[in-house]
């Protein structure tokens, strides 16, 4: 932790100077988001007049956090960087691979056995390169980060979409792909399109059944799953100051569901209390010293419509508890309207399971408020009608709520405590009977409820609500129950009503834990071996990509001319392939299998120019590779849109594709291709796409004078002996041309590290 303190000191030391400099240039009051972004510009950034939603800007994040599924390829790549240690404090969290089946202890043991090779690799690579390692059972990445590492005014990237959770403590925290994490750990800057800003003004105060979760359920209903795209959502106002830090974390966490880049709250008394309550008084003192920089300017919050691109106002005193769903998190129902919606839409009224916890809602406050209802069930002789599970967010929360008696209350109510891990939230739920695909309803305090997400059953109607509402509904076992107004019949046949939930933001006796599950990296790691079983089919050490041969490229084969949409999912499919995300050779067998071949309108069927026969894309490409023949992939508009998946750039590079030539690129994928040493080219005249023929041999000319802004020439040698010469554009700058020449960006980093 000392390492962190030094880092935070350095970040805070530059805040006043950077913010004052920015103020002089932009000459207007600043939002909190702008203050943090301006304070984290990378050394190479010179201007601070950015077009919101337009300019691409280099930042220098303070931290990197990775979950166990995405950390594998990020760290395998990092090992190529030639660094002894990570450049910024970084952590790995083993949370995604634990399947929920019976209960915490046995599920955890099973996961340790099943994922041993992955855990051994992550533990040893963390130990070697200076990363903190949170073992399986230690908790879910975002809760652990909030408790230990998030700090007001910081900037973090994380390889998980709910990284924004740390915005609850005033940190700009953004979910990214593994390649970005690798870059920042290797000491490179990180690029982000300067976001637009949405301001959410909160007035009034939460009370009774309404919880922090209801704020984001309401916001999701207003903005929908796309409304936050390209935006950072900044919450402010008296209402914001009244919400606990962990409640703010819940709101920011689920902000991922509206597509927001991230969400953030300013530093306030609640944040200070949480820092002190989680043993970080030193950070609270430091934050207090620069308090005015850790919130937006007064003028901004007084006239938000002048400074934000969009403003939403919510009065917390009037906010009803909400239930969102099914199948999408933005279908928002105030609880007073929900029973009617259930009946009108014919959703199954019988509630099968209520699940509380997850990274979104597993704070001490959440558990204590839910437990207050469980206690009422016991006291009022109510038997829970639905199954009920609890997923604590961290071992610290689990240990503390067990000490304070909440888990035994859930136990009396018939609840099952699952491992401190993602479990049912990410489909890691061996739900008995799910394979029958029966129509049924569940309700969770998680964040996502898309079809099949929890149990793989497309007919599971999954609803999202606060832990309090989930608990009440599980007691009732009926989706049409409104705990605010309705009564339930108890075992004695009496009609009883649940009182409003009560709880504590933090434990009066303080948090406690016996073994938090943390492994600090070795001080001297020179003797530490990174453990990768050479026979593993899930993990494979990477070899550096070879450098450019120094000549133009001749005789490349056309691998595929992709037609229409070609997202990163078409290029590198997810689903069962994710098992191989740490094994580049094995996962490359999914390369472009989802892309539609222009010449036959089929997927995964392309002509092998060596044999004249049609074969699967990866198999054909492997044959070219065997014969040392490079190839070209041709694509349509916005090639590579979708999630930033490094595999989509690494697989073609690994299998010997030399260039991707398209009408236009999704920017992030274009950058990922450049990082892997590929040629990412666009038709100067998009109509030239039509000139590409199935049997083309392709030359790329002009590489010996490759320079920024200078187009290259592509020669299409058609099978009938005719040829076309076309101009192709690129967006490589000097540095990126150096990546191409060296074989990859990491090869350059490695060269620099060796100097």
Active site residues: 95-96, 160, 448, 643, 645
Q: Does 542 bind ligand SF4 (CB under 6 A)?
A: no
Does 590 sit near ligand SF4 (CB under 6 A)? Answer: no
Q: Give yes or no for residue 749 binding ligand SF4 (CB under 6 A).
A: no
Stretch that binds ligand SF4, among 97-105, 418-426, 525-533, 626-634 (CB under 6 A): 418-426
Considering the complex, state which of residue 333 and residue 446 has its C-beta at the smaller distance from ligand SF4: 446
Q: Min. distance of Cβ 302 from ligand SF4 in angstroms?
A: 35
Cβ-based burial of 738 (10 A; exposed 0-12, middle 13-18, buried ≥19):
middle
Is 366 a residue that touches ligand SF4 (CB under 6 A)?
no
Q: Which residues, 6 or more positions from 117, have their beta carbon under 8 angstroms from its beta carbon? A: 531, 532, 533, 536, 538, 539
Residue 358 as a binder of ligand SF4 (CB under 6 A): the answer is yes
Minimum CB distance to ligand SF4, residue 391 (Å) = 7
Q: Which is nearer to ligand SF4, 104 or 425 (CB)?
A: 425
Closer to ligand SF4 at the Cβ: 95 or 646? Answer: 95
Shortest CB 358 distance to ligand SF4, Å? 4
Q: Which residues pair with 66 in a beta bridge?
A: 92
Q: Considering the complex, what minimum distance in angstroms separates the CB of residue 419 from ligand SF4?
A: 11
- List all residues 6 or more positions away from 722 whose beta carbon is below 8 Å from its beta carbon: none
Distance, CA of 52 to CA of 193 (rounded, Å): 8
Picking from 746, 752, 747, 755, the residue whose alpha carbon sits closest to that of residue 184 is: 746
**Is 474 near ligand SF4 (CB under 6 A)?**
no
- Secondary structure, 3-state, 237-297: CHHHHCCCHHHHHHHHHHHHHHCECEEEECCCHHHHHHHHHCCCHHHHHHHHHCHHHHCCC
The least distance separating ligand SF4 from the CB of residue 425, rounded to whole angstroms, comes to 3
Binding mask 94-113 for ligand SF4 (x = CB under 6 A): -x------------------
Q: Figure out which of the listed residues 64, 111, 131, 140 binds ligand SF4, where binding follows CB under 6 A.
A: 140
Could you tell me which of 174, 84, 121 has the C-alpha nearest to residue 581? 121
Give the residue with the Cβ less far from ligand SF4, 358 or 396.
358
Count of residues interacting with ligand SF4 (CB under 6 A): 13
With contacts defined by CB under 6 A, name the span among 183-191, 421-429, 497-505, 556-564 that binds ligand SF4: 421-429
Helix, coil or strand: residue 155: strand
Stretch that binds ligand SF4, among 419-427, 474-482, 569-577, 681-689 (CB under 6 A): 419-427
DSSP, collapsed to helix, strand or coil, labels residue 111 as helix
162 binds ligand SF4 (CB under 6 A): yes
Pick the closest to residue 183 from 42, 324, 386, 47 (CA basis).
42
Under the phi-then-psi rule, with left for phi > 0, alpha for psi from -120 to 50, and beta for the rest, what region is 346?
left
Taking CB under 6 A as the criterion, the residue among 172, 422, 476, 649 binding ligand SF4 is 422
Q: Does 359 bind ligand SF4 (CB under 6 A)?
A: yes
Min separation Cβ 158 and ligand SF4, Å: 10
Least Cα distance to 651 among 669, 628, 638, 627 occurs for 669
426 binds ligand SF4 (CB under 6 A): yes
Q: Minimum Å distance from CB 750 to ligand SF4?
A: 32
Is 160 a binder of ligand SF4 (CB under 6 A)? yes
- Rounded-to-integer distance, Cα 481 and Cα 584, Å: 50
Of 164 and 239, the one with the shorter C-beta distance to ligand SF4 is 164
User: CA 419, 425, 426, 432: dihedral to nearest 10 degrees?
Assistant: 80
> What are the b/e assignments for 83-116, b being 16+ CB within 10 Å?
beebbbbbbbbbbbbbbbbeebeebbebbbeebe
**The only residue of 91, 295, 447, 604 in contact with ligand SF4, by rule CB under 6 A:** 447
Q: Where are the beta strands (DSSP E) in 358-476?
A: 387-391, 416-417, 440-444, 460-464
Q: Catalog residues that contact ligand SF4 under the rule CB under 6 A.
A: 95, 140-142, 160, 162, 358-359, 422, 425-426, 446-447
């Amino acid at each position: 932790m000392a390492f962190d303190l030094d880092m935070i000191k350095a970040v805070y030391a530059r805040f006043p100077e950077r913010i004052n400099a920015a103020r002089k240039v932009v000459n207007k009051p600043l939002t909190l988001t702008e203050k943090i972004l301006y304070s984290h510009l990378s050394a190479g950034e010179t201007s601070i007049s950015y077009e919101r939603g337009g300019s691409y800007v280099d930042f220098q994040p303070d931290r990197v956090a990775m979950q166990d599924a995405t950390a594998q390829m990020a760290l395998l790549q990092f090992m190529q960087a030639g660094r002894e240690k990570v450049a910024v404090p970084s952590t790995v969290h083993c949370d995604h691979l634990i399947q929920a089946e019976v209960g915490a202890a046995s599920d955890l043991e099973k996961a340790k056995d099943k994922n041993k090779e992955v855990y051994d690799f992550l533990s040893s690579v963390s130990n070697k390169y200076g990363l903190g390692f949170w073992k399986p059972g230690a908790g879910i990445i975002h809760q652990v980060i909030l408790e230990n590492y998030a700090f007001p005014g910081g900037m973090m990237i994380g390889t998980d979409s709910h990284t924004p959770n740390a915005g609850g403590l005033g940190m700009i925290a953004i979910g990214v792909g593994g390649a970005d994490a690798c870059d920042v750990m290797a000491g490179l800057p990180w690029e982000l399109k300067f976001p637009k800003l949405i301001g959410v003004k909160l007035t009034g105060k939460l009370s009774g059944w309404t919880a922090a979760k209801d704020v984001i359920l309401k916001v999701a209903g207003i903005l929908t799953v796309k409304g936050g795209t390209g935006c950072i959502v900044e919450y402010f106002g008296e209402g914001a100051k009244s919400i606990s830090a962990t409640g703010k974390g819940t709101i920011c966490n689920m902000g991922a569901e509206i597509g927001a880049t991230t969400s953030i709250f300013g530093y306030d008394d609640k944040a200070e209390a949480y820092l002190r309550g989680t043993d970080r008084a030193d950070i609270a003192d430091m934050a207090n010293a620069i308090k005015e920089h850790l919130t937006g300017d007064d003028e901004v919050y007084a006239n938000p419509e002048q400074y934000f691109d969009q403003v939403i106002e919510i009065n917390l005193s009037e906010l009803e508890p909400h239930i969102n769903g099914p199948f999408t998190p933005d279908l928002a129902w105030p609880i007073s309207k929900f029973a009617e919606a259930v009946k009108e839409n014919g959703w199954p009224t019988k509630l099968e399971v209520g699940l509380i916890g997850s990274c979104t809602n597993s704070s001490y406050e959440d558990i204590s408020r839910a437990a207050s209802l469980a206690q009422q069930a016991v006291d009022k002789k109510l038997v829970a009608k639905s199954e009920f599970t609890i997923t604590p967010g961290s071992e610290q929360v689990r240990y503390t709520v067990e000490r304070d008696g909440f888990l035994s209350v859930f136990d009396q109510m018939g609840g099952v405590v699952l491992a401190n891990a993602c479990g049912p939230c990410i489909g890691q739920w061996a739900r008995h009977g799910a394979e029958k695909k029966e129509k049924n309803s569940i309700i969770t305090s998680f964040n996502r409820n898309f079809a099949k997400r929890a149990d793989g059953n497309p007919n599971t109607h999954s609803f999202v609500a606060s832990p309090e509402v989930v608990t009440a509904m599980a007691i009732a076992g009926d989706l049409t129950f409104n705990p605010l107004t309705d009564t339930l019949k108890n075992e004695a046949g009496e009609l009883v009503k649940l009182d409003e939930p009560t709880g504590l933001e933090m434990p009066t006796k303080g948090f406690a834990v016996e073994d938090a599950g943390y492994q600090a990296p070795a001080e001297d790691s020179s003797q530490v071996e990174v453990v990768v079983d050479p026979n593993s089919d899930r993990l494979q050490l990477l070899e550096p990509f070879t450098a450019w041969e120094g000549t133009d490229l001749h005789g490349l084969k056309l691998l595929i001319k992709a037609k229409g949409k070609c997202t990163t999912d078409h290029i590198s499919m997810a689903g069962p392939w994710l098992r191989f995300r740490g094994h580049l050779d094995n996962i490359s067998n999914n390369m472009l299998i989802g892309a539609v071949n222009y010449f036959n309108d089929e997927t995964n069927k392309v002509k092998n120019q060596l044999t004249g026969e049609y074969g699967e894309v990866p198999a054909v490409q492997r044959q070219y590779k065997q014969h040392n023949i490079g190839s070209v992939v041709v694509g349509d508009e916005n090639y590579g849109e979708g999630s930033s998946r490094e595999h989509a750039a690494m697989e073609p590079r690994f299998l010997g594709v030399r260039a991707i030539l398209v009408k236009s690129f999704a920017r992030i994928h274009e950058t990922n291709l450049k990082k892997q040493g590929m040629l990412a080219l666009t038709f100067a005249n998009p109509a030239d796409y039509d000139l590409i023929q199935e049997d083309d041999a392709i030359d790329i000319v002009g590489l010996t004078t490759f320079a920024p802004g200078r187009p290259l020439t592509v020669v299409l040698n058609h099978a009938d002996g005719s040829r076309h010469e076309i101009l192709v554009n690129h967006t490589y700058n000097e540095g990126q041309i150096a990546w191409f020449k060296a074989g990859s960006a990491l090869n350059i980093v490695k060269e620099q590290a060796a100097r």
